[in-house]
């Protein structure tokens, strides 16, 4: 996507676009700060929770490192370092990937599943408090519609 107009000039945001962009950023910061703080009180980070919840939904509670990194928008090396920390806490374990000699599988442990089950109710309450309950049903529908457009240009 070009940031320049057809005549080569920068396409600056008009006042309405600038307000919308800044409002979006404020919402993201407010929601993520609130939910991250609430997860931290449970001893988890947002990435911890995402890895645990994603693995809990997968067959055999297993995912490749690459699939998980792609889902999170992280590099494999960044996720690998994070997985090492989670593995040290007993939340997951790594196994060799039989289809990729260089890769590994991330497997949710029983302790990881218990941790997720314990944290999920409080996390869902946090999501409701910082986001869902502040919006009308039509706002939620608008956000879904906007997300589809932004995710799939």
CB 92 within 8 A of CB 108: yes
Residue 106 burial (10 A CB sphere; 0-12, 13-18, 19+): buried
All structural domains of the chain: 47-128 (1.10.10.10)
Q: What is the pLDDT of residues 78-125, one digit of tens each?
A: 999 999 999 999 999 999 999 888 889 999 999 999 999 999 999 999
pLDDT tens, residue by residue, 37-73: 999 999 999 999 999 999 999 999 999 999 999 999 9
DSSP annotation string for 60-117: GGEEEHHHHHHHHT--HHHHHHHHHHHHHTTSEEEEEETTEEEEEEEEE-HHHHHHHH
pLDDT of residue 35: 97
Q: CA-CA distance, 76 to 97, in Å (whole number)?
A: 14
pLDDT band at 153 (very low <50, low <70, confident <90, very high): low
């Amino acid at each position: 996507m070009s940031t320049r107009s057809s005549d080569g000039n920068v396409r600056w945001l008009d006042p309405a676009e600038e307000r919308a962009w800044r409002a979006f950023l404020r919402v993201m910061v407010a929601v993520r700060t609130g939910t991250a703080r609430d997860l931290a009180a449970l001893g988890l980070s947002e990435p911890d929770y995402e890895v645990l919840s994603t693995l809990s939904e997968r067959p055999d509670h297993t995912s490749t490192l690459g699939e998980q990194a792609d889902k999170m928008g992280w590099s494999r090396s960044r996720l690998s370092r994070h997985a090492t920390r989670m593995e040290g806490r007993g939340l997951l374990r790594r196994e060799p990937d039989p289809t990729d000699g260089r890769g590994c599988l991330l497997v949710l442990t029983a302790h990881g599943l218990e941790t997720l089950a314990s944290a999920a109710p409080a996390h869902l309450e946090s999501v409701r408090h910082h986001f869902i309950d502040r919006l009308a049903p039509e706002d939620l529908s608008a956000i879904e519609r906007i997300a589809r457009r932004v995710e799939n240009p």
